[in-house]
Amino acid sequence: MITAVINGKTITAESGSTILQAARANNIYIPTLCDHPSLPPSGACRVCLVEAERNPKLLTSCTTPLTEGMVVSTNSPRVLAARKAVVEMLLIRHPLDCFSCESNGRCELQNLAYELGIEKSPFTDEGDVCTHFELDNTNPFFIRDMNKCILCGRCVRACDWRAGYHAIDFQYRGIHTQINPPIGTKLEDEASDCVFCGQCIQVCPVGALVEKKAVGQGRPWQTHVVRTTCPYCGVGCQLDLHMNGENIARVTGTE
């Protein structure tokens, strides 16, 4: 065990823990977008930046190990300014169509913008809308809208680490960057490794990936969760049914 100080509070944590893991174990909030408890950290979104004494740079808490005696601040003025700037830059290429978005109410970017008091990005002109990526509605199971993608990489890691495939990855650079199957193929093609398991949809923090059958079936605040068991085989995987009245709005895994 190691001892450190976060936000003036002395905490203990397992040796080898990251700052983020130690903070969560001690009920200290650090926001994230690219981090997911079932996936390896990547440090992609930079939302989890924290300030450590005697370190001139802000650190990504999801990838930085906590060391003995470290003094960390998760909400200093410098940290909050950097965090707000990161979210404002993410909103440059993110449509603000929250009213019609299927992720309204469970969107992690929306929640973080609300938390930081951001209405829109100051880096875009009035009326700017990011629609330069074509909506992918070709497969029978889900909709891919790369205009809403924040490039956190959760879906790529879920496909690789959780599903055991590598059907999608980052393509191109700069403002043209998007997450796709191999160039020249679609997810539904025979050459694709995608098995439509839905792991990518479940970890997506925004509305870039949406189940087709869930569209229009109810907002998060209109649904309640009922846990059940998948009858397909003898493993007994647990599923969460998101019920809107007596109708199933969507289904998610419990792990």
In a domain, 105, yes or no: no
Domain carrying residue 236: 216-255
Q: How far is CA 69 from CA 3, 11, 12, 242, in A?
A: 6, 10, 10, 45
What is the residue-averaged pLDDT of the chain?
93
- The tally of domains found in the chain comes to 2
What tens digit of pLDDT does each residue of 229-250 get? 999 888 888 999 999 999 999 9
In a domain, 149, yes or no: no
pLDDT band at 126 (very low <50, low <70, confident <90, very high): low
In a domain, 172, yes or no: no
Q: DSSP characters for 181-221?
A: SSTT--TTSTT-------HHHHH-SSSSEEEGGGTTS--GG
The last residue of one of the domains, among 50, 75, 100, is: 75
Which of residues 114 and 123 earns the better pLDDT score? 114
